[in-house]
Amino acid sequence: MDDCVFCKIIKGGINSYSLYEDDLVKAFLDVNPVSKGHILVIPKEHYENIFETPDNVLEKISLVCKKLSLICRDKLKSTGVNILNASGKDAQQSVFHLHYHVVPRYEKDGLDLWFHQEAKGEIDIQNVYDILV
């Protein structure tokens, strides 16, 4: 994809602070970080979202997210991590190349990346369960 910023990074057309790369996955520092050590993990092939990404690529991304989380804990002394993905416009995906954010967390860092305060009490959980199974 010629107009995809992540494809350009993979091809070397845009410089990145690369932290990990193999035949399937690349990881680099986010240039607009929300925390010290904020990392993006992407597949090297262009897949728009989680729905179209092959399982073996998702498995590799998960392992790389863990590896980089441990490095942030050990080297940056982070005390937690959020691993986030948005797949699809309605999920607020902004770059349509699958990517995961590894966001190291620190005591009293002031970030609120959780959504339980937005819980929808009117959703009939039993009905949703019956539909899904």
Residue 119 confidence (pLDDT):
73
**Is 99 an annotated catalytic residue?**
yes
Using CA atoms, how far residue 29 sits from 18, 20, 40, 129, in Å, is 7, 10, 6, 39
Confidence of residue 114 (pLDDT cuts 50, 70, 90): confident
Span 30-34, average pLDDT: 96
Among the options 38, 46, 97, 99, which is catalytic? Answer: 99
Tell me the whole-structure pTM to 2 decimals: 0.93
Confidence of residue 81 (pLDDT cuts 50, 70, 90): very high
Span 104-112, average pLDDT: 95
Cα–Cα distance measured from residue 8 to residue 77, given in angstroms and rounded to the nearest whole number: 32
Span 40-75, pLDDT tens digits: 999 999 999 999 999 999 999 999 999 999 999 999
Q: Which domains does the chain possess?
A: 5-132 (3.30.428.10)
